[in-house]
Structures are given as C-alpha cells and as structure tokens.
Chain A
C-alpha cells in the first residue's frame, strides 16, 4: 500500500478485548424460542392449530407494543433483539387452548408496556413480564383462564374438563386417566405450553447444554418441590404419587426452565441462584397447600423475583486471593473495632 493511501485510512480505536463471543442477546432469545418449539409442536399435536395461531398473534402483538412504545417515546428500536418475541411466545403458552384470540393482546400490553418498558426495557424489569401478565389475566379473566379443553388423544367427548391441578388443589383422588405416562407426554388438559413434559425437558436440557441457562435454578426449584411434597404428603395419596403428581401437573416444569431462569429477574450469583430456586420451590408448595388459588408457580416466582436484588447482595463472593483466614481476620478486626468504640 502506498504511503499517502495508508495515511488516509481512519483507524478505529477501542479498549480490549477486540474479539467477542458469537452468543449475543439476539441469539440467546432465538435459542430460547427454539427450545420452546418442541412443546409448541406437542401442543399442536394435542390441541390442533389453535396454539400456533395464538402464539403468532401473541408474538406479533408483543413486538408491536415494543415497537410502538419505543417509537412514541423516541427511543432506539429494540424489536430486533427478539426479547419481545420471546415474551409474546411465553405469554401465549401459559394460556388455555380455549382462550379467545384477543386475550394475548391484553396480556402482552401488560407484559411489554407496563412491566417491561415502563421500567426501562430489557434487563431493567424487576418481575418476569410473561408471569406478571399471567397473574394479571387470572385476576381479570378468571373464567376464561380456568376453562380447559381436553386434548385430542384423551378421546373424551367434552368441551371442558378439570385439570390434574384442580384435583390436587382440592385434594380429591386423581382420576385413572391421569397416569404418570399421560401427564409426562402431555395428554391432559391445561395451558398448552405446559402440557408435554418430555418436550419441555428436551428444551430445558438444550438450554443448559448451550450454557444459556444454568442448571442451578431448575434443579433446585423442582428438587425442592419434590422433597417437600414427598416429606409432607397428602391425605388420600401415598407420598410418592403425591410428589409425582405435584411435579407433573401445573406449570412447574415450564416455569422452572423458562420462567424462573429469566435473566433480568433471577439472581446472577451462583449460590444466590440455588437459594432462589429453593425459595421458588418452597413458596410453590406452600401456595399449593394453603393458597386460595391453585397458582403456586406464578406467584412463587413473582415473589422470588422481588427478592432477587437482596439475594444477590447477600451472596457476594470474595475476590481471587482472599482466603478464609483473611475473611476471619477481617471480621475479628471489625469486631475489635466495634468493641473499642464502645
């Protein structure tokens, strides 16, 4: 290159590092949606094309709200990080199949505008938008949100039927057709995204392998629910089947992998994530035993979302080179200083 040519080139200057990983926000969101796809496919198999339609309507509305809000407030557009898309998908997947098509429009307005954007957008919201919107919809449209259509494979000729969750909540014995196998494969009524446990586990496993979520939250969450329900049991059930029904019914698996692990609203410290999972599990069981709604999962995660900041503060780790002895010495010095002040 000629000298006068090289002097014309304007060079970029940046602090290190000059290279970055390929996994960016957009890819993370797309990967989570990919992980939800098996569950959506299973729902399509069980309930027909209504779930797909609902997801599409929901995603479009979520993206529209995100775009419109940022546009009206003259902020930079964030629709291409696909986080609104994902929120829309999750909002739809926690609805019953029989819900009307316009319900996601309301749910997404609450999720995107009120919960997410009013607090500053992606990463700034303090509760999970999809779950908050679900809580909002349950309070506002209790009838719609608790009407469940039976899946095709059950072969029942009925418009609505009770979910395993309602049997658990009332403590009635579980009907025979809710076998472990059927519940695992999603042959049961319920929100269409939470039905097929197999598909959800596949998706969750994929996210853990891709290191998009850590194993800590789902394992500690589901583990706590399993241990507590097994330990306390319930009248009319043996402890093991009570535990299995508790794990397999409701939105537990979906929420443990896809809702509780939401970055913005879960702890970032490693022991904090474990405690958060245990907290979610304990609250879920408490609400299922004593609550006035059978909505343990939704409310437990929302409550733990609020505790996230405090949990992160409590589990500060020590920097490299600080040993246990150093910490003990520091504590002793502080104590001595306090006593000297007295």
Chain B
C-alpha cells in the first residue's frame, strides 16, 4: 500500500541516482552570504584580513528565527561586502580566500553519549551548527522543532524528493543509511515524540529496502512508502499522505500535531551532533540540457555557480536560465557569480529546450489546472480575477492558500503563467495588508493625540 494525497502531476523525472557522488574541489574563493535562512539575516563576526578555519562560525544573529553560518573552507577573509545572492538582490557576504588546507575548527565537538539523549542539548547543537530546512525552504530547524514541542505527536520525515532532476536525498539514503536513521532519531528525541514516520516515494525502492533492512524500528522510525507524484514532498501533502490529517488553510503542520523535517536536514543533524560538523557542504545535483553531463556533486556552501558548472563537466551550450533547486519550485539565479547556499539542492542550467513559454498565451478553459491543484483551488478562476485585478473575488477563490507548487502551470496546455500570477497576487495582498495596517496605526496615533 502506498500513501499519497489527492491530485498532483507527473512530471518527467529526469533523475540520475545511478551517478555516484562526486566531490567538487572547493573554489579559490568562497562567498558565504549572511542570509541562508528564513528570518533575520546574520551579522558578520569576522573582518577583512582575519584568518578563519573550516567550520568556524562567521555570522550570527541572536534573534530566535535565524541560524548562524560557518566558513566552508579555511583561509583569509578578503571581503565583507554585499554580493549577488542566488535568490536575487545583493546580500552582505563574507568572501574567503581558500588556502586549501581545510584546517578544521574545533569549536564544535561531537556530543557526549548523555547529551545525545537530551533534547535541549540536541536543539542547542542544531542551532549552533546552523541547520536549516535543507529541502529548500531554509527555515531554522531548531526553531521549528521548538515550536512543535508539546503540540506535535507525529514527526514526519520528508523523503519524497518529488522534484524532477534532484538526487541528493536518494543518494544520502543509499550512502549513509545508518547515519541518516541516527539523525532522524535525534530529531525525534528533540521533538519529544515516540515515533517518526519516514515518507519515501516508491521510485526509491532500493533506498526503502536498504533502510528497512537496518531495523528502523530500533530508532523509533517507520518507513512509509508513498506514491510517486508531485508535490508529494510539500509539507501539507506529506502530512496528509503519512498521517491522513489535513492542515487547515493558513496554518502550519504543527496546527494538526505534525512537523515535517527533510532528509538532508536529518543528515545535517547527525553530522552536527555525532561529528561536530556544521552545515558547510551538501549534495547538489548539477544538470540541465546546457550541461555536458549530470553530476551529483558534494559541494561546499559558497561555491559560485559558474565554477560549479565548470567542475561538473562544463557547458555543452550556453545556458539561458539557471534554476536553483528543482525545476517545479526552483527560483532563477541572475548571476554566474552567485554562490550555492544551504538550501541549494540542485543547480539546473537550462536552454531553450526546457523553455515552453509562448507569446500571447490564451486560456482555453480546459480545467486541467483544477484537476491537478493539490490545494483544491480553482486556478482558472483565480487567474481570471487576477487579470481583472478583482481583489475581493481573488480572496473568495482563496488565492492566498496557493503555495506555488506550480502544478497548474505545469499542466496548462495554453502555457498560462498561472503560478506566476498567484505569486504576484500574494505579494500584492501582503503589500495591501501592510498598507492598511500602517494606515490604521496612523489613525490610532492621530486619535491618541
């Protein structure tokens, strides 16, 4: 029996887990942005000229919704200045000249036997090691787990990896199964629950069999095989598939007593606690029609995208688009100089071949968007009211419930920019709410006078 949710799409998966993990030589200069998580950006702890060790903390913010960042190489700081961030914008970054010594930093030691059973010690370590949601959302993991303590009775580990191209989770399961199970156990202990449910899509049958052969029940883990369908890995869909609970509109999974943590995050937790290693590298799938070959590359955080492509076989043709993450929810990078960050599961170099946009798209009202929306929305009408600028009707059609999985746009034969429109509309709603709030505050201040 495989578990799943209703609707969704079946993209062309293009996965290549048979390609073994290759190690990318760290670049001569790494660029470490101070914002690699959702929440308050970090403040640099180092200055130009400082010598930093590999794994040394170089940025921090005391705010609860944040995570420190660490140097991924050892060497000299050559610049502390705004640099292109993969998600657009210029963000304060620390640039480190690599001395290729990889002198390790001894600040974080493996946790003791006792500490490995203490939720508080684990949570402190998770934060100290800069662990964030490495599925791509980059939400600080320690804050997420803390927020769920007492409320959450079902811990869901996300091993769906439903995005096309990406293989990082699959390869982690195959190459480090024991470490992964131990990492999940730590997250489970930190969350204060008896059992963790590990949802894995059945296209990773070898991984499911391997993990099952290692007696996951010893670690308080149950493997839940899931149907292969996008967006199986979305939080709400994962909770629905594994627990049968539906997260209410506008709420987060802990509202129904579930918390979702991704595979790579659990592995990072293992490394942080058992090895005393902060998040400074991850498996990045480098693929796309512009590349000579596909690579599953173990890449240091802060590796510039152009350098990464060169190290992974180089370009066959000039790329037209750089996509960070999977192609369904991935965001376009604007510069070859932007670095990979903690949340970068894949870097895809696309050409015209993948581009299927058309000029003057025209909705044919086929309703194929309705048949795939996992949130049960009606994109065809949402788009209609969006193009009219009718905010009331957009709200009536629950446009703010869209989590931009892209299924509707993917399935649209007319190539309407549906997800694009909904994302824009949500930003418009946010701006409108902020404006109204400011106006209300101004009115209140006036009255107070």
Give A residues with C-beta under 8 Å from B: 1, 3, 6-7, 9, 11-21, 23-25, 27-28, 76, 78, 81, 83, 121-123, 214, 263-264, 267-270, 312, 316-323, 326
Contact = CB atoms under 8 A, between A and B. Distances in A.
A24 B416 CA distance: 11
B370 A268 contact: yes
A188 B327 CA distance: 54
A163 B417 CA distance: 49
Contacts of B374: 320
Interface stretch (B51-59, B121-129, B351-359): B351-359
Task: Using C-beta atoms within 8 Å of the partner chain, give the interface range for chain B.
Answer: 35 or more
29 contacts: A1-B315, A9-B336, A13-B334, A14-B332, A15-B331, A15-B423, A16-B331, A16-B419, A17-B327, A17-B328, A17-B407, A17-B419, A18-B321, A18-B327, A18-B354, A19-B11, A20-B410, A21-B9, A21-B411, A21-B413, A23-B413, A25-B364, A268-B378, A269-B367, A319-B249, A319-B375, A319-B398, A321-B247, A326-B248
Contacts of A9: 318-319, 336
B236 A321 contact: yes
B332 A18 contact: yes
Contacts of A264: 364-365
A29 to B, nearest CB: 9
Nearest to B351: A12
A76 B331 CA distance: 30
**Pairs of residues from A and B, 5 with the lowest C-beta to C-beta distance, nearest first:** A268-B367, A17-B406, A15-B420, A18-B327, A263-B366
B322 interface: yes
B245 to A, nearest CB: 9
Contact of A27 (B318, B363, B413): B413
Contact of B356 (A7, A20, A322): A20
Contacts of B365: 123, 263-264, 268
A139 to B, nearest CB: 27
Nearest to A8: B318
Interface of A is mostly: loop
Nearest to B332: A13
Contact of B406 (A12, A16, A326): A16
A9 B321 CA distance: 10
B281 to A, nearest CB: 23
B323 A317 contact: no
Interface of B: 9, 11-12, 164, 236, 240, 246-249, 251, 306, 309-310, 314-315, 318-323, 327-337, 348, 350, 354-360, 362-367, 370-371, 374-378, 380-381, 398, 401, 404, 406-407, 409-415, 417, 419-420, 423
Contacts of A268: 365-367, 370, 378, 380
A23 B46 CA distance: 53
The prevalent SS among residues of B at the interface is loop
A66 to B, nearest CB: 13
Contacts of B355: 12
Given A7-B336, A21-B411, A122 B364 contact: yes
A19 B378 contact: no
Residue with the greatest number of chain B CB neighbours at <10 A, chosen from A3, A18, A264, A270: A18
Given A17-B409, A319-B376, A1 B306 contact: yes
Contact of A14 (B398, B414, B420): B420
B313 to A, nearest CB: 12
Given A13-B321, A19-B356, A319-B375, 6 more contacts: A25-B414, A264-B365, A268-B380, A269-B370, A320-B247, A321-B236
Nearest to B14: A19
Contacts of B328: 16-19
B310 to A, nearest CB: 6
